[in-house]
Amino acid sequence: MAFKLTVNGKTHVIEAAEDTPLLYVLRDELGLNGAKYGCGVGQCGACTVLRDGAPLRSCIAPAASLSGHALTTLEGLRAPDGTLHALQRAFLAEQAGQCAYCIPGMILAADALLRETPQPSEADIRAALDSHLCRCGSHNRIVRAIQRAAK
Ligand code: FES
């Protein structure tokens, strides 16, 4: 089937089966590799993107169901001139990524948090990222990066 998807401000016409996960369309059709395949069942957060500003697990969201929504991937956070987003700069400054596989999802979840709660407590940050898994154990640096971005 054919449907439209608006990703990072651009609208694309997609041809895919009705149940194709958004993650596959982003990576395989649109070449947007920020969102990662981790568990594939909505448990780890590596595939997180934003749907109308709210976190969405793209591995379990059928792309065809997302027409009419504004989708944002990690690639969409940078300014048009390439300037990194404050969260991206803070994650780099705090060396929050070790293998960094989880980082795109962490950053997008943090972006959603900071839009709702510009000055989050540490407990707010930990709650927002509770369902995002980091196998390297970089959680404390990730929390510090989000605190830095919120300043
Ligand atoms: Fe989507 Fe793990 S890959 S939640």
Structural domains present in the chain: 2-76 (3.10.20.30), 86-150 (1.10.150.120)
Tell me, in angstroms, the distance from the centre of ligand 1 to residue 133's CA.
Answer: 10
Tell me, in angstroms, the distance from the centre of ligand 1 to residue 13's CA.
Answer: 24
Low-confidence ranges of the chain (pLDDT < 50): none
**Can you tell me which atom of ligand 1 is nearest the CA of 45?**
4
- pLDDT value of position 136: 93
> pLDDT digit string (tens) for 39-73?
999 999 999 999 999 999 999 999 999 999 999 99
Closest residue by Cα to atom 4, ligand 1, is: 42
- Extract the runs of DSSP E, i.e. beta strands, from 41-89: 48-51, 54-57, 70-72
- pLDDT value of position 114: 98
**Can you tell me which atom of ligand 1 is nearest the CA of 42?**
4
- pLDDT value of position 141: 97
**Can you tell me which atom of ligand 1 is nearest the CA of 58?**
1
**Residue 49, C-beta contacts closer than 8 angstroms, at least 6 positions apart:** 22, 26, 35, 55, 56, 58, 71, 72, 73, 108
Look up the pTM and report it: 0.95
